[in-house]
Amino acid sequence: MLRPVLLVSFLFAAQAGAQTLLPLDSRPATRVLPALIAGLGGGTPHVPPAALLGNAAQEANPALLAAWLNTQPADGPLIAALDALAYGGLVQSRRSPLTTAQALARLEPLREWRARTGQPIYAFITLPREPDATARARNLAVVRAMLDWAGTGVFAGLDITWDDALPGSPAPAEGAALAQEAADRGLTSVRVYPGADEVLSMLVARALAPQEKTVHVEYSDPLAAQQVIKYEGIPLTRSAANHAAGSGFAVTEEGKADLTLYVFNGGDARQAALRVSALLRRGPVALADVEKVNLGNSRLWADLTTLRQHANLRALAAWGTPGNNLGAALAHAKLSLNGPDPTRQDALLAREYANDVIYSTELRAQLRGAVPERELDTPQGQAELLRLAQTYFPLRIGNEYLLNTASSPWGRSFEWNFNLQAR
């Protein structure tokens, strides 16, 4: 008989002492994953329904979001993506016609929430990517206003991040200037680095597991790790250090760390799998596969699965940009070191494997070959997604998982949402 482990079922139930999450938008990576990480210890995060959040075509309604926020129990921290309220989501932050004053007015409910509840707020706001941004001066003015709010104690932590900085983007220089401003003002609660989709998960890790842990970072190709990486404008080593600090880790030497983060950034995938296996015999390991963007290395994951070592990882990530993967893996790993519920830990690892290895590495390409993108958001397209996906299950991590549902929530093949059952 199937024993349901509904991986998103606890997102909306009320439970004393739970934190409230205000995601960047309705994508599973920005809404479902942070909530699952937040729930690892057994608590129940308060998360708005997907319908209240923005998508590619429609911005979130700030009045409805504010009304939702005011109905949530004030029994824990608020962890918020500021772009969701200010502009209606990440996509909208790039092209919103709002003035600075209008965007700040939309953020006012957060300051009111802080004054009313006395609970801490951990928040982040992004510098938009080029060439999509249509009002960079406005976005910068809003970010600088958030520095003022940080200075008056509105935020327990404020992360300023930049999104998809391709060559020529002004975001790295803007970020450097903002970091200097924060330092000059003594705003020690402010961090500035590249990131977007992964940041809410990292704030969850800092808020819910505040005790600092140590991490040693090992690369499959140490020389290549010194090179500037696509979408961030900084070396991979620097990105790893940023995401470690942002998730509540201090980087330390091998043999002295609570966690090893193994970063696969190219080279011999088989040797990398053997190295991960050796590291696991020494202690906890998380794995971030960053060799390619939005695509895991099939040889690496096949060998790890053959060795049965994928099930022993504390966290894994291969779904996005290097920063996405580093941040997601570190955030999950940080909570996994904090006494997680073993059933939820296994279920989250299964979800990561299903999304990052099965879908991103294998299934997405099959889906694109079988269904034209314009037909994906149809009953026939969604049925084909489920049919193709079912061929990869059951999946065994600790428990064995079957695929219950599958859909394309934004009507595109880039991501999917799904539900697993353990038996």
Q: In the sheet that 395-396 helps form, which strands lie side by side, from edge to edge? A: 395-396, 400-407, 417-422
pLDDT at 6: 36
Distance CA 298, CA 270 (A): 10
pLDDT at 3: 44
What values do phi and psi take at 377, rounded to 5? -85, 50
Q: What is the C-alpha R_g of the chain? A: 20
75 burial type by CB count under 10 A (0-12 exposed, 13-18 middle, 19+ buried) = middle
Bridge partners, residue 81, by sequence: 124
What do you get for the CA distance between the two ends of the chain, in Å? 7
Sequence ranges of the domains in the chain: 9-208, 213-339
Whether the CB-CB separation of 124 and 149 falls below 8 Å is answered with no
- What residues contact residue 108 under an 8 Å CB cut-off, 6+ apart? none
pLDDT at 18: 65
9 burial type by CB count under 10 A (0-12 exposed, 13-18 middle, 19+ buried) = exposed
Count of other CB atoms within 10 angstroms of residue 188: 10
Q: Determine the residue type at 140.
A: L
Q: What CATH number belongs to 9-208?
A: 3.40.50
Nearest to 230 by CA among 321, 130, 360: 321
Residue 41, CA distances (Å) to 36, 197, 222, 236 in order: 10, 22, 34, 30
Nearest to 135 by CA among 181, 163, 172, 93: 93
CATH class of 213-339: alpha beta
According to DSSP, the β-strands at 249-251 and 259-264 are unpaired
Domain 213-339 in the same topology as domain 9-208: yes
Distance CA 94, CA 141 (A): 14
Which token pair is 361? 């590495």
pLDDT string in tens for the chain (423-residue length)? 444 333 333 333 333 346 999 999 999 999 999 999 999 998 889 999 999 999 999 999 999 999 999 999 888 999 999 999 999 999 999 999 999 999 999 999 999 999 999 999 999 999 999 999 999 999 999 999 999 999 999 999 999 999 988 888 999 999 999 999 999 999 999 999 999 999 999 999 999 999 999 999 999 999 999 999 989 989 999 999 999 999 999 999 888 899 999 999 999 999 999 999 999 999 999 999 999 999 999 999 999 999 999 999 999 999 999 999 999 999 999 999 999 999 999 999 999 999 999 999 999 999 999 999 999 999 999 999 999 999 999 999 999 999 999 999 999 999 999 999 999
Distance CA 218, CA 44 (A): 34
Distance CA 196, CA 23 (A): 11
Distance CA 92, CA 283 (A): 43
